[in-house]
Amino acid sequence: MANIIILGAGVMGSALAVPLADRGHKVRLIGTHLDDDIIAAIRRHDIHPRLKVHLPDSVLPGSPDELAEAVGGAELLVLGVSSAGVDWAAGKLTSVLPPDVPIVMVTKGLAGDGETIQTLPEYLEKRLGATYRGDVCAIGGPSIASELAVRRPTCVTLAGRSGPAAHRLAEWFRTPYYHVWPDTNLVGVEVCAALKNLYALGVGMAAGMLESAPAVENESGMHNTAAALFAEAVWEMSYMVTALGGDPQAVWTLAGGGDLYVTCQAGRNSRMGRWLGKGMRYSEAKLRYMPEDVVEGAETALAIRASLSAMITRGELDRNSLPMLCAIVEAVCDDACRPIPLERFFAARGTERPNDFAAGLS
């Protein structure tokens, strides 16, 4: 069995320690500088304070100053930091990670440089530099950490550019309850994995719209609205995957529709969407109700805003094909209180309209 390091002791990185330990691997869970309380709690009684479960006895917790020693004999690094922590992780790993050790990312998000949009594996490879020769892969699909940590049946995709590497690493993770399918559509899987968080903000708005709507005599919900938001999100994800060079097949499987579905059921992104749907501005909702939460969908919107505007201006993306994406980005980045433009959903793509969104972002 393999010697595996997990960097990042948040819920998903820690939950992955369970199937890896059950598979018989030697697992070191190394926290970041933000995980000191988590690592201390695990050391005291083996209970992860956010997952509320005992991690397997064979999982060894460690602090950031133990990273260099831990990765020296590693055969795999699992990166479980937040999207905002990728730069920190790259800085720590550049000088200590052996150049051929593969990386599997569970971090979800996109990187923007003001001109183009990149997946996080692409961004991490550039940050690690030319001396790094390992495979950077990623896990995508519907995986709620608290369910995985108690061994609920879970199905995901492990994607990489190399088919043999993806097959080999998928086998390392696979257990009777953690079902892992290898894939070579890394861009498609990662674009879906990032955008489903952003689109979950939009789908979550239906709940807030319902709470703000006048009472009706039959007490009906807004499932019609939520379903339309979900369907538009799937269409737009397909458009974005294709535009960024991935295979849109990812949208119709675990990484796209599957992960979007589970993300819309609960979690930080859908909770934030509810506040936005009630007419609250993003800054107010974040400060009042979610000050300690990392809302990955909002972080993705902030990361890609300038690049999205530039790509629309250059004609590489069609603003009319992305009414929901543009509305969510505006709501977060401009702190705007605007409704989702349902009337623009499923319109003929490529029609001539002003690039008002790009102008507003410049």
Name every residue whose Cβ is closer than 8 Å to that of residue 176 and which is 6 or more positions away in sequence: none
The b/e string for 38-64 (b: 16+ C-beta within 10 A; e otherwise) is: bbebbeeeeebebbebebeeebbbbbb
Beta bridge partners of 352: none
**∠ CA 345-143-233, rounded to 5°:** 5
Element of type H or E holding 47: strand 47-48
Do the beta carbons of residue 226 and residue 153 sit within 8 Å? no
Residue type, 203: V
**Widest distance between CA atoms in the chain:** 66
Cα torsion 332, 334, 338, 342: sign: negative
* Strand, coil or helix: 169: helix
Interatomic CA distance for residues 335 and 330, integer angstroms = 7
Catalytic status, residue 286: no
What backbone phi and psi angles, to 5 degrees, belong to 316? Answer: -80, -25
Helix residue ranges, H only, the chain: 11-22, 36-45, 67-71, 86-93, 120-128, 145-149, 163-173, 186-212, 223-243, 259-265, 268-277, 282-289, 296-313, 323-333, 356-361
Residue type, 168: R
Rg of the chain over CA atoms, in angstroms? 20
Residue type, 56: P
Tokens of 327: 């509305």
Catalytic residue (one of 92, 108, 196, 286): 196
- Residues with catalytic function: 196
